[in-house]
Chains A and B, each alone.
With several copies, the nearest count.
Chain A
């Protein structure tokens, strides 16, 4: 018996990616997909890869009918305004926007420069990153999406903080290299091909909003952690790579900290994870994680290197910002919330060469 699933705001890249995944999901029937501007048009007019896969047409959100699971992929700020009404449409709701990712409304105001429209709902949402929050998601009705730059950073660093290896006083510097699809489907002067091609562009040297989710995931109330993120746009459409710099605790250095301790920490955190692959190899072209072979897949590749002379750990992670960084993780959460096998509909392995 398949479940009925609707997608609110399916004209963008994230909503379109959720639609692509659900169309191939054995347990799901996509009942409705909404877009105000494109109501009445076939979905494949905006998502040409879905030609011949569906004859679904966009409907206005007012036409939304009750369903089993509702994905919301509206622009930031919309879902928080409409959450009361939306929560009546389906017992389970997954919101891909940034509106319900942060637990504290103070954090929200600080990073998003405006008060939250419905702060009481913040604590009713669970942060939707299964690798660090699986049990909470399994039992949740309201789950938030994840930020792509935050997720690639969190997944790179999580094992180090889980095993308490990092010198927190030193903070974390992380450099994220990002593809153009992070900017979404809306054309802007900076996404104009002659200007965006071959960019190596310091997009956000400081103050990137996704830092908030890293602080939330790795920070600890009693022991604050400084996370310093810089984002550089590079020649890529899908994909993001994070290179994070952390220093091992001095006392561990004295006890002879070595590479195998990193293997132990990363294997301990990710050994059983279906979508995390540890990548640190001596041979071949792809010795460390790299985004281009992950496009379309729900994998995050995670690796590390270590400089014993300085105690610096370089944690590296790569993923597809539209998949593990958004829609793939959202569908992974749906599988958990509905009791389906977690990898259902998410087994595409990515392409090589790509």
Chain B
């Protein structure tokens, strides 16, 4: 298991070895923010660029 902390909420993210590749986008299980896998060994994550959905209430 590879793990790293979510840059947004510091939640622990665990990924089974070999189940992910660099550049892949995953969701943080705690805060749901989209993260980009910037390296595999060691596992590093960055906030994926994504546009903020406008609710327009």
Residues of A within 8 A of B (CB): 40-42, 45, 55, 259-260, 263-264, 267, 278, 280-284
Query: Would A278 and B30 be within 8 Å (CB), given that A260-B10, A264-B10 are in contact?
Result: yes
Number of A-B contacts (CB under 8 A): 40
Residues of B within 8 A of A (CB): 8-11, 25-27, 29-34, 50, 52-53
Question: B31 near A281 (CB under 8 angstroms)?
Answer: yes
> With A and B bound together, what is the CA distance between A282 and B50 in angstroms?
10
Across the A-B interface, give the 3 residue pairs with the lowest CB-CB distance, nearest first.
Answer: A281-B32, A263-B9, A282-B33
Instruction: Find chain B residues with CB under 8 A from A278 CB.
Output: 30
Question: B10 near A45 (CB under 8 angstroms)?
Answer: no
Question: A283 near B31 (CB under 8 angstroms)?
Answer: no
CB distance from A263 to the nearest CB of B (A): 4
Instruction: Find chain B residues with CB under 8 A from A264 CB.
Output: 10
CB distance from A187 to the nearest CB of B (A): 13
Question: B31 near A42 (CB under 8 angstroms)?
Answer: no
Instruction: Find chain B residues with CB under 8 A from A41 CB.
Output: 27
Question: A45 near B9 (CB under 8 angstroms)?
Answer: no
CB distance from A340 to the nearest CB of B (A): 29
Residue in B9, B11, B27, B33 whose CB lies within 8 Å of A42: B27
Instruction: Find chain A residues with CB under 8 A from B53 CB.
Output: 283
CB distance from B55 to the nearest CB of A (A): 9
Residue in B11, B32, B52 whose CB lies within 8 Å of A45: B32
